[in-house]
Chain A
């Protein structure tokens, strides 16, 4: 039961350009959304989050947009840097739920 979907398994972007990662969800109970970055053989690193009462949240080069009516969120990385090459996971949760429901991930490759 894929309640969180990342339909693009991979994304290649040039250094300095914008990376846009997309995520769709189906469960209307979700009210908190997060993005994580993961390198091989390491645990995910928290990047940015957004609650359902907002439609945008920024932190440095990272901006997350939430469209509740479309059940869609996106992560923008501007400008993209070679160190951004990793797998990015979208995750969703609900208050008191505790668990995070993860998408399958998008492999981002930033080329010089």
Chain B
């Protein structure tokens, strides 16, 4: 069974540009989560999508946004990039049933975003 996949592996942008990161969940998983791991910091929750809707959002500015597609894959967009956005961005997926969420999240390898 294929795990969570993310693309691209590395992304280099300049300040003020926009970055788009992509994630494909494990087959059968309907929830997708995004986390940021900046250098020297822990994993910080960004966004949670389930069944195409944003379910929860971390303490990040509106420049960070995303969406989930009908096939449950997801995109994270970061607008007006700042130097401090340089980090490893991790996507995770999990499965859940209506009214219940299973919290075992399985992570992809991440996208390393560098802002120059």
A residues in contact (CB < 8 Å) with B? 32, 34, 36, 41-46, 49, 89, 93, 95-105
Interface residue B104 (Cβ < 8 Å from any Cβ of A): yes
Q: Which of B42, B45, B48, B106 contacts A105 (CB 8 A)?
A: B42
Sorted nearest first, the 7 A-B pairs with minimum C-beta distance are: A43-B107, A98-B48, A99-B45, A102-B43, A98-B56, A93-B103, A32-B103
Q: Mark B14-47, 1 if CB is under 8 A from A, else 0.
A: 0000000000000000010101000000111100
- What class of interface size applies to chain B in its complex with A? 20 to 34
Instruction: Apart from A43-B107, A99-B58, list 20 A-B contacts with CB within 8 A.
Output: A43-B4, A43-B90, A43-B108, A43-B109, A43-B110, A46-B106, A46-B107, A89-B43, A95-B103, A98-B33, A98-B50, A98-B103, A99-B33, A99-B45, A100-B33, A100-B45, A100-B103, A100-B105, A102-B42, A102-B43
Q: How far is the CA of A42 from the CA of B107 in the complex (A)?
A: 9
Q: How far is the CB of B47 from chain A (nearest CB, A)?
A: 9
Interface of B is mostly: strand
Judged by a CB distance under 8 angstroms, whether B101 is at the interface is yes
What are 15 A-B pairs at a CB distance below 8 A?
Answer: A34-B104, A36-B107, A42-B110, A46-B104, A89-B42, A93-B103, A95-B100, A95-B103, A97-B103, A98-B31, A98-B50, A98-B101, A100-B33, A101-B45, A105-B42
Chain B residues whose CB sits within 8 angstroms of the CB of A49 once the complex forms: 103-104
Please report which residues of chain B, range 72-106, place their CB below 8 angstroms from some CB of chain A when the two chains form the complex.
Answer: 88, 90, 92, 100-101, 103-106
